[in-house]
Amino acid sequence: MTSNNELFARAQRVIPGGVNSPVRAFRAVGGTPRFIARAEGAYLYDAEGQRYIDYIGSWGPMILGHGHPAVLEAVQKAAADGYSFGAPTEREIELAEAILALVPSVEQLRLVSSGTEAAMSALRLARGATGRTAIIKFEGCYHGHADALLVKAGSGLATFGHPTSAGVPADVVQHTLVLEYNNVAQLDEAFALHGGEIACVIVEPIAGNMNFVRASLPFMRRIRERCSEHGALLIFDEVMTGFRVALGGAQSLYAAQIPGFSPDISVFGKVIGGGMPLAAFGAKRSVMELLAPLGPVYQAGTLSGNPVATACGLATLREIAKPGFFDALAERTRALVAGLTDAAREAGVPFSADSEGGMFGFFFGAELPQNYGQVMATDQERFNRSFHAMLERGVYFAPALYEAGFVSAAHSAADIDATIAAARAALR
């Protein structure tokens, strides 16, 4: 058996940092990443044969747990029929129909291979539809790594952003305005200054890339109002929240509380691929018809709508659309959050936590943060210690305090109880 340490050393020789996506490297928490050999249900097994209760779920997609029999069968069958054609298939229509049936704001969609690609394409579509260049994003929201989105706030509201990554030209982000999440006054000010230039506002409705921060109702209402007044499009990045916090995504939750609410463009990923590379963006027909081959906005992909990925996504959506699925998932997730909260209280540790559907977040701080600055002001050191203490006890939470957690349908009440017991011991 090869150890995680040996694999990490070997990986670092041929892959930068030893990983194909940076957060996997454990840089935030320190230590050696676990190399996963296989997964089953709610569990991951590493190269050393250690078992972990998995609260990452491949960063969201594995809502049914690993290796769900119906999904596995669909994938195997699809693969046997051929795994890429570069030509349209009936299954792409079926998946599009399944998504459209659950998301009333979307009349047409296009399938792509990653959330990054979907968000990048949505921005291009919004710019093409409005003939405008400027975009608004919020600090702490992640929409993939397209150049225009790797940006931090400029020095004031009148100034646009600066790149957060080397290799991104300042020119490319000079049209991106970065605002504080949940800050209504700042949003108003930005629209007052730049309203006529803004093509779109892109937002994670429940931000899962700064752990778990909900957009407040007043904030969401105001984003919608300002976009409508100024002719900007509202892009909901539901790559994480879509089919995860509710069957209709986070937009169904806001629509239930804000009369007439809907986003203009929606971006999906993660759950809709069920663990395969698949994502999508969609909108009203009039907007989507601006895309090539019908319209002037170019977008394409060799593996888009891949037959194995669509089989995996479709089988996953069929399972989660069954009656009672989300009620049960939400209840189990709430039980986890309540148990962790109790364990922290007993240990006298400042703690706050929240969840929606099968997505949750917790913070070592007494109050739930409302924006990125507040998230990063929570106790990082305690988070890192607790992360390792839980990992040693066979519980795998995300290895960074700005990441959300996920419960799957495969997590049993016993798994939740075992997690809470581990937290009691770890937080002591």
Ligand X SMILES: *Cc1c(COP(=O)(O)O)cnc(C)c1O
Q: Annotated catalytic sites, by residue?
A: 142, 237, 270
Closest CA to 149 of 166, 127, 164, 128: 164
Cβ–Cβ < 8 Å for 94, 74: no
Given 240, 272, 280, 410, the residue binding ligand X (CB under 6 A) = 240
Peptide bond into 293 cis (omega under 30): yes
Given 18, 33, 41, 144, the residue binding ligand X (CB under 6 A) = 144
Given 115, 263, 274, 275, the residue binding ligand X (CB under 6 A) = 115
* 249 contacts ligand X (rule: CB under 6 A): no
Q: Cβ-closest residue to ligand X?
A: 115
Given 237, 264, 354, 415, the residue binding ligand X (CB under 6 A) = 237
* 399 contacts ligand X (rule: CB under 6 A): no
* 208 contacts ligand X (rule: CB under 6 A): yes
Q: To the nearest whole angstrom, how small is the minimum distance from the Cβ of residue 105 to ligand X?
A: 17
* 114 contacts ligand X (rule: CB under 6 A): yes
For residue 112, what are its two tokens?
């792509």
Q: State the DSSP code for 198.
A: E
Nearer to ligand X, 46 or 204 (CB): 204
172 Cβ contact partners less than 8 Å away, ≥ 6 residues apart: 147, 148, 163
Q: To the nearest whole angstrom, how small is the minimum distance from the Cβ of residue 238 to ligand X?
A: 7
Choose the stretch contacting ligand X; rule: CB under 6 A; options: 138-146, 165-173, 302-310, 318-326.
138-146
Nearer to ligand X, 115 or 249 (CB): 115
Cβ–Cβ < 8 Å for 397, 51: no
* 354 contacts ligand X (rule: CB under 6 A): no
Nearer to ligand X, 24 or 393 (CB): 24
Closest CA to 363 of 381, 375, 345, 348: 375
Give the 3-state secondary structure of 347-384: HCCCCEEEEECCEEEEECCCCCCCCHHHHHCCCHHHHH
Neighbours of 74 (CB within 10 A): 22
Neighbours of 311 (CB within 10 A): 26
Choose the stretch contacting ligand X; rule: CB under 6 A; options: 92-100, 137-145, 155-163, 352-360.
137-145
Write each residue from 45 to 84 as x if it is in contact with ligand X (CB under 6 A), else as -, in one continuous string.
Answer: ----------------------------------------
* 182 contacts ligand X (rule: CB under 6 A): no
* 119 contacts ligand X (rule: CB under 6 A): yes
Q: To the nearest whole angstrom, how small is the minimum distance from the Cβ of residue 24 to ligand X?
A: 12
Q: Which of residues 269-308 bind ligand X (CB under 6 A)?
A: 269, 279
From residue 5, how far is each of 2, 28, 47, 63, 384 by CA, in Å?
8, 17, 10, 29, 19
* 116 contacts ligand X (rule: CB under 6 A): yes
Decide: helix, strand or coil at residue 6: helix
Cβ–Cβ < 8 Å for 36, 42: no
Choose the stretch contacting ligand X; rule: CB under 6 A; options: 34-42, 190-198, 236-244, 313-321.
236-244
234 Cβ contact partners less than 8 Å away, ≥ 6 residues apart: 200, 201, 203, 223, 224, 227, 263, 264, 265
Q: To the nearest whole angstrom, how small is the minimum distance from the Cβ of residue 60 to ligand X?
A: 7
Q: To the nearest whole angstrom, how small is the minimum distance from the Cβ of residue 209 to ligand X?
A: 6
Nearer to ligand X, 47 or 112 (CB): 112
* 142 contacts ligand X (rule: CB under 6 A): yes
Q: CA 150, CA 176: separation in Å to the nearest integer?
A: 9
Burial of 255 (0-12, 13-18, 19+ CB in 10 A): middle
* 112 contacts ligand X (rule: CB under 6 A): no
Residue type, 217: L
* 239 contacts ligand X (rule: CB under 6 A): yes
Nearer to ligand X, 115 or 357 (CB): 115
Choose the stretch contacting ligand X; rule: CB under 6 A; options: 1-9, 150-158, 237-245, 362-370.
237-245
Backbone angles phi, psi at 412, to 5 degrees: -90, 165
Cβ–Cβ < 8 Å for 148, 124: no
Which residues of this protein are in contact with ligand X, per CB under 6 A? 114-116, 119, 142-144, 204, 208-209, 237, 239-240, 269, 279
